């Protein structure tokens, strides 16, 4: 009886082990990263259709470098990177796929985005007819020693700060750079007009700091103009630059350590 029990338990153990010995995380990941073209130029990935968006330089969703390969059904998963088109997933919600192999008219590699079908119309309209400026921000970053990674953040200007900038642009007479006048500034941040979700961003102007004076720098097609910020608005601009200066000071302090 004992002998049969041993054989039975050994068989049970083998039966339990075989399924666990069959799986492979790497193969499973590759299987998840497989996508196919549906014949109309769209991509089918995990049962969701992704449609190709028109190329637009203001449209810049953040890529999180998780790879997806678009290939024929018969291509084995281990050869996906060889025979498939590599895409990167952009946005955490798996909303976009980014493909970098489109050659634009300047012969530069321009990213092509494929958007989830259910949100396509919304993004297509914003690309074709322009996006609403919902916020103005600048990007800054610092190295977090505890997390041991570079943290990138955005500072969003308040309504008051935005209206101050608008006021300066309408009331102050700009100085054109290059005609016997150059600004030697110490710090500069670039402001971007954005949508709330930060998917659309367009360069607007720069804020420059020279000594204790702030300037707004605006470029048109041929010239660069500087608007000197009046003394009464220096506090507002000081607040705008605070986050950037704090990050900068932290980096300088880290560099001296």
Closer to other proteins by CB, 31 or 223: give it: 31
Q: Which is nearer to other proteins, 35 or 77 (CB)?
A: 77
For the residues of 144-193, what is the DSSP string, one character each? ETTTTEEEEEEEEPPHHHHHHHHHHHHHSPPEETTSS-----SEEEEEEE
The Cα-based distances of 57 to 2, 95, 127, 202, 234 in angstroms read 75, 18, 9, 8, 33
Taking residues 70 to 109 in sequence order and writing x for each that binds other proteins by CB under 8 A, - otherwise, the string is ----xxxxxx------------------------------
In the chain, alpha helices (H): 2-22, 25-32, 80-83, 120-129, 159-171, 234-256
The least CB distance from residue 71 to other proteins, in Å, is 11
Smallest separation (angstroms) from other proteins to the CB of 68: 18
Nearer to other proteins among residue 10 and residue 17 (C-beta) = 17
Cβ closest to other proteins, residue 74 vs residue 184? 74
Residue 194 CA to residue 237 CA, distance in Å, equals: 20
124 and 137 Cβ atoms separated by less than 8 Å: no
Rounded CA-CA distance 77/130 in Å is 40
Close Cβ partners of 256 (under 8 Å, ≥ 6 residues apart)? none
Nearer to other proteins among residue 15 and residue 21 (C-beta)? 21
Site string for other proteins, 12-51 (x = CB under 8 A): -----x--xxxxxxxxx-x---------------------
Radius of gyration (C-alpha) of the chain in whole angstroms: 27
Size of the site for other proteins (CB under 8 A): 17
| Unique residue bearing structure tokens 């190295």 | 143
Instruction: Give 77 or 95: the residue with its C-beta nearer to other proteins.
Output: 77
CB of 21 to other proteins, least distance (A): 5
Phi, psi of 251 (to 5 degrees): -65, -45
Residue 228 CA from chain centroid, whole number: 32
Judged by CB under 8 A, the stretch of 33-41, 68-76, 149-157, 191-199 that binds other proteins is 68-76
Binding to other proteins by residue 1, rule CB under 8 A?
no
Minimum separation from the CB atom of position 194 to other proteins (A) = 36
CB of 83 to other proteins, least distance (A): 8
Strand partners, 52: 114
Of 79 and 109, nearer to other proteins (C-beta) is 79
Residues that bind other proteins in the complex, under the rule CB under 8 A: 17, 20-28, 30, 74-79
């Amino acid at each position: 009886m004992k002998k049969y029990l041993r054989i039975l338990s050994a068989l049970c153990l083998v039966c339990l082990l075989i399924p666990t010995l069959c799986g492979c995380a790497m193969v499973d990941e590759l299987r998840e990263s497989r996508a196919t073209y549906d014949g109309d130029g769209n991509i089918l990935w995990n049962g969701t259709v992704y449609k190709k968006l028109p190329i637009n330089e203001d449209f810049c969703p953040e890529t999180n470098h998780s790879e997806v390969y678009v290939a024929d059904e018969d291509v084995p998963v281990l050869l996906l990177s060889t025979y498939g088109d590599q895409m990167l997933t952009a946005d955490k919600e798996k909303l976009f796929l980014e493909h970098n192999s489109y050659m634009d008219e300047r012969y530069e590699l321009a990213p092509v985005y494929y958007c989830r079908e259910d949100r396509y119309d919304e993004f297509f309209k914003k690309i074709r007819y322009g996006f609403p400026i919902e916020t103005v921000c600048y990007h800054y970053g610092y190295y977090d020693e505890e997390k041991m990674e570079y943290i990138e953040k955005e500072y969003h200007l308040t309504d008051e700060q935005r209206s101050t900038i608008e006021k300066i642009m309408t009331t102050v007479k700009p100085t054109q750079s290059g005609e016997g006048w150059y600004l030697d500034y110490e710090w500069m941040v670039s402001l971007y007009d954005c949508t709330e979700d930060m998917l659309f961003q367009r360069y607007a102007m720069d804020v420059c700091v020279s000594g204790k004076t702030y300037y707004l720098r605006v470029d048109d097609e041929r010239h660069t103009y500087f608007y000197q910020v009046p003394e009464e608005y220096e506090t507002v601009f000081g607040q705008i630059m605070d986050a950037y200066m704090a990050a900068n000071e932290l980096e300088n302090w880290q560099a001296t350590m």
